[in-house]
Amino acid sequence: MAFLVILISLLIAGIFLPQWWAQYVLRRYSKPREDFPGSGAEFARHLARQMKLDIRIETTESGEGDHYDPLNKVVRLSPENFKGNSLTAIVVASHEMGHALQDKLGYQPLHIRTQLVGIASKIERIGAGLMIAVPLVTAIFRLPAAGLLMFLAGLASLGTPVFVHLLTLPVEWDASFRRALPLLEAGGYLEKKDLRVARRILTACALTYVASSLAALLNLARWIALLRR
């Protein structure tokens, strides 16, 4: 029991601490910089021209966050990063352009993730329904094997978000450190001191996906614990 409490506490810390640190880092470097010639959106458009990417740059609705939409070929930036000329805005814009470059180069993990994200939420809802139905089906039909099959199906369905998040992390890491950071270095867009901070910002963003993976694992463990009662 004590081990379970410690494990859950570590998972909760792993979920919230990276998110808190990422938000702290992004806010810290979100102040306007007079030495930057343009906003995050303008920088993204500049990179699109440099890399000959046929994409659009748009601002997101409130709460949607920064992301690249490979289906519609659109980089969407939050209002503060779209209009702002802070270090955070520039680095985040370069990260999303890294995804656009992945798309152009046919980076398969990105395309696999895009397909999985489209079905993951539906599969998760089906899995939750199946796991709720396990005790009822077993009690009515007195067929433990049928209940076991439904349990395994539900377990597999709820495991899908875990797989999606685990796949997302290397995709994000590649966009940050194999695409965005080399673009910033090769183009001479940032001074050395800002490049060091850029690494910190990109690492902070990647850690949020680690937190999402742990949250999905915690949700899966919660369902298993409920069914064992």
Q: Which of 47, 34, 39 is nearest to 89 (CA)?
A: 39
For the chain, the domains span 2-227
Question: What's the whole-number mean pLDDT along residues 95-105?
Answer: 96
Order of strands across the sheet with 74-77? 56-59, 74-77, 67-69
| pLDDT at res. 196 | 94
Q: Which two tokens stand for residue 125?
A: 């809802």
Render pLDDT for 108-167 as a digit per residue (tens, 0 to 9): 999 988 887 777 777 767 766 766 676 676 667 666 666 666 666 666 666 677 777 777
Q: Which two tokens stand for residue 80?
A: 């503060």
**What's this model's pTM, rounded to 2 decimal places?**
0.79
Q: Is the pLDDT of residue 46 over 70?
A: yes
| pLDDT at res. 33 | 93
| pLDDT at res. 63 | 65
Residue-level length of the chain:
229
3-state secondary structure the chain: CHHHHHHHHHHHHHHHHHHHHHHHHHHHCCCECCCCCCCHHHHHHHHHHHHCCCCEEEECCCCCCCEEECCCCEEEECHHHHHCCEHHHHHHHHHHHHHHHHHHCCCHHHHHHHHHHHHHHHHHHHHHHHHHHHHHHHHHHCCHHHHHHHHHHHHHHHHHHHHHHHHHHHHHHHHHHHHHHHHHHHCCCCCHHHHHHHHHHHHHHHHHHHHHHHHHHHHHHHHHHHHCC
Alpha-carbon distance of 121 to 158, in angstroms, equals 9
Contact 197, 94 (CB under 8 A): no
Alpha-carbon distance of 40 to 46, in angstroms, equals 10
